């Protein structure tokens, strides 16, 4: 096995090298080596992708519930408003009653699917089925 270190000056050069590796993989008669070239090209393309930073949404801390905002999210009317933590849990409860998946609820509310599963588990402990 031979290990080679290559320094690239930017994402455009990484993408260009990935294209060359894919071309080489298409012409190489050895299937195992072609697979290695494709894997290296895939890793280079992954490294060349721009980093997208999405800041966390600061939720409002008001005490009263905005029932209209809750209903907009439940119905899926765009643009979806930002919800307080209490409103988000109410939406989760209502969409769970409608048999929506955790991923769909998480996308509407703006939280991780794991958070939706945690809320569901906490609700099951409070109200036994």
Q: Assess whether 36 and 86 both reside in one domain.
A: no
C-alpha distances in angstroms, 127 versus 58, 87, 89, 124? 30, 19, 15, 5
Q: Assess whether 34 and 84 both reside in one domain.
A: no
- Pick from 90, 81, 86: nearest CA to 110: 81
- Pick from 111, 104, 120, 68: nearest CA to 88: 111
Q: pLDDT digits over 51-75, tens only?
A: 766 556 566 666 788 889 899 999 9
Q: Assess whether 80 and 39 both reside in one domain.
A: no
C-alpha distances in angstroms, 79 versus 59, 72, 76? 16, 9, 8
Is 112's pLDDT higher than 80?
Answer: yes
Q: Assess whether 77 and 121 both reside in one domain.
A: yes
Answer whether residue 56 is part of any domain. no
Q: Assess whether 82 and 122 both reside in one domain.
A: yes
> For residue 73, what are the domain limits?
67-126
Q: Assess whether 71 and 41 both reside in one domain.
A: no
Answer whether residue 84 is part of any domain. yes
pLDDT at 50: 79
Q: Assess whether 77 and 118 both reside in one domain.
A: yes
Q: Assess whether 39 and 72 both reside in one domain.
A: no
- Pick from 73, 90, 89, 92: nearest CA to 81: 73
Q: Which stretches within the chain are classed as H helix?
A: 11-27, 31-48, 67-75, 85-97, 102-109, 113-126
Reported pTM: 0.52
The answer to whether 35 and 28 have CB atoms below 8 angstroms apart is no
pLDDT at 62: 64
Is 129's pLDDT higher than 60?
Answer: no
Q: Assess whether 87 and 116 both reside in one domain.
A: yes
The answer to whether 25 and 39 have CB atoms below 8 angstroms apart is no
Q: Assess whether 21 and 71 both reside in one domain.
A: no
Q: Assess whether 43 and 73 both reside in one domain.
A: no
Answer whether residue 58 is part of any domain. no
Q: Assess whether 75 and 109 both reside in one domain.
A: yes
Q: pLDDT digits over 5-35, tens only?
A: 888 888 889 899 999 999 999 999 999 999 9
Percentage of residues of the chain with pLDDT beyond 90: 50
């Amino acid at each position: 096995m031979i290990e080679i270190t290559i320094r690239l000056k930017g994402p455009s050069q990484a993408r260009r090298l990935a294209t060359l590796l894919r071309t080489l993989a298409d012409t190489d008669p050895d299937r195992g080596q072609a697979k290695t070239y494709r894997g290296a090209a895939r890793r280079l393309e992954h490294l060349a992708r721009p980093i997208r930073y999405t800041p966390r949404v600061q939720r409002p801390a008001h005490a009263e519930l905005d029932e209209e905002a809750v209903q907009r999210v439940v119905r899926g009317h765009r643009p979806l408003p930002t919800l307080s933590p209490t409103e988000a849990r109410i939406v989760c409860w209502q969409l769970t009653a409608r048999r929506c998946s955790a991923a769909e609820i998480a996308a509407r509310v703006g939280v991780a699917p794991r958070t939706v599963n945690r809320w569901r588990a906490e609700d099951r402990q409070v109200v036994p089925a």
